[in-house]
Amino acid sequence: MAVTGWKVDPADRTRLLELFPPAWPDVIADHVTLDAGATERTPLPPASVGKIVGHVDDGLGLQVLVVAVDGTTDRPDGSTYHISWSLDRARDCKPVESNEVIARLGFELLDQSLPVRLIPARLS
């Protein structure tokens, strides 16, 4: 199995970390998943400019930014485009739980979306 998606442009990551200070000690904040069930032969997506449109913190150890890619937050698999922002591994939180948090709690819309450059990548 492979995972395809986009790495967050490093300069944008730095800017976004200033705008959204990590709430939890373990900071990820580096990618948006497109296909968690891809293969090594799955083509990479095109480069894109996403938009940070919302955020959620479950108060239990997981902070997530919601991203619109090509005008939608809906991933083809029915989940939500997002960046797992920060988490607390000491509380057994995992980035893979981000979509569950979004589904359970929803997210707070930002007053204004923020652009983020997305670089096609195979993700680990």
Determine the average pLDDT of the residues in 5-9. 97
pLDDT in tens, 72-106: 999 999 999 999 999 999 999 999 999 999 999 99
pLDDT band at 6 (very low <50, low <70, confident <90, very high): very high
Total tally of structural domains belonging to the chain: 1
Domain ranges, residue 37: 2-123
pLDDT in tens, 37-79: 999 999 999 999 999 999 999 999 999 999 999 999 999 999 9
Three-state secondary structure readout of the chain? CEEEEEEECHHHHHHHHHHCCCCCCEECCCEEEEEEEECCCCCCCCCEEEEEEEEEECCCCEEEEEEEECCECECCCCCECEEEEEECHHHCCCHHHHHHHHHHHCCEEEEEEEEEEEEEEEEC
